[in-house]
Amino acid sequence: METIVYLFTLAAVAGLVCHKIGLPPLIGFLIAGFSYNSLGLNPPKEVYLLSDLGIALLLFFVGLKLDLKSLLKIEILSLSLFNIIANSLFVALGLLLIGSLFLKDQNLPIESIALLSIALSLSSTVFAVKVLDNKGDLISVHGKLIIGILIIQDVIAAVLLAITEANFPEQTAFLILLLVPAKFVIYKILDHIGHDELLVLFGLLLALVLGYAFFNFTGVKGELGALVVGALVANHPKSGEMSQALFSLKEFLLIGFFLTIGINSDLSIQNILAGSLLCLFLIPRGLLYFFSSNYIKFRSRTSLFTSITLTTYSEFSLIVVSIGYTQGLLSVDWLTITAVAVSLSFLITTPLEKNSENIYERIHKYLRTIEHKETKENQIKDLHMKHVKALVIGMGRIGSGAYEELQNSFKQNEILSIEHDEKKVLSHKSDNKNVILADANDLDFWSNLNGKTVEVIILAMPKHHSNIEAAKQIKNLNLDCQLYAVARFDEEVEELQSLGVTAFHIYTEAGVGLARQTYKT
């Protein structure tokens, strides 16, 4: 018990330091894992359990927001397979180079090179989903593209794991078909379960028991099961509420994952150099994802964000390499080198991911010159701003309420709202609201507003990061309008106000609104 207390204390300190200097806490958790390992302490078994549960719960979250139809698109399949094959070839070159420089006494057989190359051609699902979720981009165009690619990679990873372990799904895998009739029962339970602790408990049962444990029992990868069960209940009205209820628990459990990455790394000079050399081959990976996405007519912005997020090594490669070691296919050196490479890829990609909008802003003029004239994303061309005076960003419950209130002051054609969730856009359009599909963090979108007649902009997106980024875009364009936003915490209100935004504390204003409504009645 004492060891896990020491480990989480170290994680809390390192995470806080990183947060204060502007880095994501996950880098602090990685550093804590490295530091704990360097002290020679035995890793607590509990942290590995937390890691497994965190990954399962994270993939359950992905399933809750999954659009299965988008996965069947030919562009996602072709993009995924092409990049896996191309990146495997680049990684193979890196492995041969590392072997000749650092492991001259070891000769990798062809099957070992193939195993490592395919494992290291995959990108990190945990890292990508976490950063997309933090930025509110899971249902954006690039978010859906990334998730689609990662799901196909996870399927390939499951097959690779089965080959490595020589453990293929047994006849019991057919039991998974029972989920089809079970869906009716699950939906009925969700209809009557309420909104409090029972909803949290049932969500955990779905993710960890029906998803993770049940699929493991049938011989199928448990993490894949959590994803499938999440997708199974994604269309239920309470799926969003369940996601919010489990959010903090998911964040806590994922700390265990990042700690285990650092704990499993032996930071010898040789291994650090070898892992660093392997990270050089992330450069062609990023370029391949960018140009292949651009080739199939995604916008340059989508291609850039996709390439940045997928420029990592997958945590799954550690599992494959570990099994390869136990099977005698790989030496223990490769396990350590892979752990270092995975960790360094997170450290390299995190600042790029954090500043992706700034990067695009700096080079977007050049990127637009190599972009196809006709792209798959036409939301920018669909804007009609000539008479718009009020703009609502985000059409959740707060944005919808703001839109309805603005109808008392503006004509119907003078109000426009934007939303990056296609389902919400279609729903609001069916109610005769002027809503379009667009991304509020998109520089190209805000450029279209420059010089227009907009008087009021309301930022009503659920993620504070998204509201901040949109406010920065507006400030940079010097739009002459009133700008309003909502926030959950006092520090968020202060950050918005520093950008010239009139910010309202959501809970305080809810109380004021309730009192006014009571007075009226």
Q: How many separate helices (H) and strands (E) can be counted in the chain? A: 25, 6
CB within 8 A of 21, min separation 6: which ones?
none
CB within 8 A of 400, min separation 6: which ones?
428
Give the Cα separation of 264 and 317 in Å (integer): 13
Chain centre to alpha carbon of residue 470: 19
Order across the sheet with 456-459: list the strands.
Answer: 435-437, 415-419, 390-393, 456-459, 482-487, 502-505
Q: What is the largest CA-CA distance in the chain?
A: 84
H/E run at residue 486: strand 482-487
Give the Cα separation of 126 and 117 in Å (integer): 20
Q: Mind listing the domains of the chain with CATH numbers?
A: 1-370 (1.20.1530.20), 381-518 (3.40.50.720)
Could you report the per-residue pLDDT of 293-335, keeping only the tens digit for each? 999 888 898 999 999 999 999 877 877 777 677 677 777 788 7
Give the Cα separation of 209 and 202 in Å (integer): 10
pLDDT of residue 112: 82
Give the Cα separation of 348 and 344 in Å (integer): 6
Query: Tokens for 515?
Result: 């009192």
Gyration radius of the chain's alpha carbons: 24
Q: What is the dihedral of CA 386, 391, 394, 398, to 10 degrees?
A: -150
CB within 8 A of 407, min separation 6: which ones?
415
pLDDT averages per 10-residue partition of the chain, 521 residues: 83 88 77 84 85 84 71 81 93 88 78 86 86 80 88 75 59 79 89 84 90 84 81 85 85 86 77 90 94 90 93 82 74 81 87 88 86 68 67 87 87 84 84 83 71 81 83 78 85 87 74 55 54
CA distances from 27 to 22, 32, 114, 305, 428 (A): 11, 9, 30, 20, 40
Phi then psi dihedrals of residue 325, to 5 deg: -65, -45
CB within 8 A of 440, min separation 6: which ones?
393, 394, 418, 420, 459, 461, 466, 469, 470
Q: Letter for the amino acid at 35?
A: S
Give the Cα separation of 454 and 436 in Å (integer): 16
CB within 8 A of 270, min separation 6: which ones?
102
Query: Tokens for 209?
Result: 């028991």
Q: Are 441 and 424 in contact (CB under 8 A)?
A: no
**If you ran DSSP here, which 8-state letter would residue 220 be given?**
S
CB within 8 A of 378, min separation 6: which ones?
none
Give the Cα separation of 181 and 389 in Å (integer): 50
CA distances from 80 to 55, 86, 92, 376 (A): 22, 10, 18, 17
CB within 8 A of 328, min separation 6: which ones?
none
Which residues on neighbouring strands pair with residue 482, listed in sequence order? Answer: 456
CB within 8 A of 359, min separation 6: which ones?
304, 308, 352
pLDDT of residue 311: 94
Could you report the per-residue pLDDT of 496-509, keeping only the tens digit for each? 888 888 888 776 66
Beta strand extents in 225-377 (DSSP E only): none
Closest CA to 78 of 354, 365, 373, 289: 289
3-class SS of residue 219: coil
Phi then psi dihedrals of residue 482, to 5 deg: -85, 135
pLDDT of residue 451: 53
pLDDT of residue 382: 46
